[in-house]
Amino acid sequence: MPKPVLAAVLLALAALCAADTAALAQLGSGEIRGRAPQVTDSGLLDFAGQPVYLYGLRGLRADQTCALGDGSWDCGREARWATANRIANHWVDCVERARGAGGEIFAVCYLGGVGGPELNAWLVEEGWARAARDYAEDYTAAEDRARAAGHGLWRDQ
């Protein structure tokens, strides 16, 4: 292999190793950061293959339906869209709060950096997620307000 090609390959490998080290450092420090992560549902983000569950809430599954009058509506799909729309074109910083039994990361996520608008609170306030009353009290008042106002999944209730 010619020296310039070999040098380019070695440089690319060094960059990949540095990127992996940076990702591990982020995980080790309890913070995960990415630009507009994929939205699996209103309670689960995917940062380039690293799933992050939003702490303190129960997101709506993408295929979930909610009662509306005599019928139902695709509240899970709408919640997923609302979540994706809220984080679109933003850097999202998540701070780990807990780990599940299988090592799952539960985090509080912020738009534009820690101290920016909190995604978890917004989702519950807008009725796109429920407070996880079984393990956290962080968002119970926000859920009560969303329910009283008929926001999101609480419409027509």
Per-residue pLDDT of the chain (157 residues; tens, 9 = 90+): 555 544 443 344 444 333 333 333 344 468 999 998 999 999 999 999 999 999 999 999 999 999 888 899 999 999 999 999 999 989 999 999 999 999 999 999 999 999 999 999 999 999 999 999 999 999 999 999 999 999 999 998 7
pLDDT on residue 30? 82
Best CA proximity match to 58, nearest among 155, 141, 127, 105: 127
Cα 30 to Cα 16, 26, 61, 141, 153, distances in angstroms: 22, 6, 26, 27, 31
> What pLDDT is recorded for position 69?
86
* Angstrom distances, CA of residue 139 to CA of 9, 11, 43, 84: 50, 47, 13, 20
Q: What is the pTM of this model?
A: 0.80
Residue 20: CB atoms within 10 A of its CB come to: 10
Half-sphere exposure of 12 (CA within 13 A, CB side): 6
pLDDT at 2: 59
What is the C-alpha to C-alpha distance for residues 92 and 45, in angstroms, rounded to an integer? 10
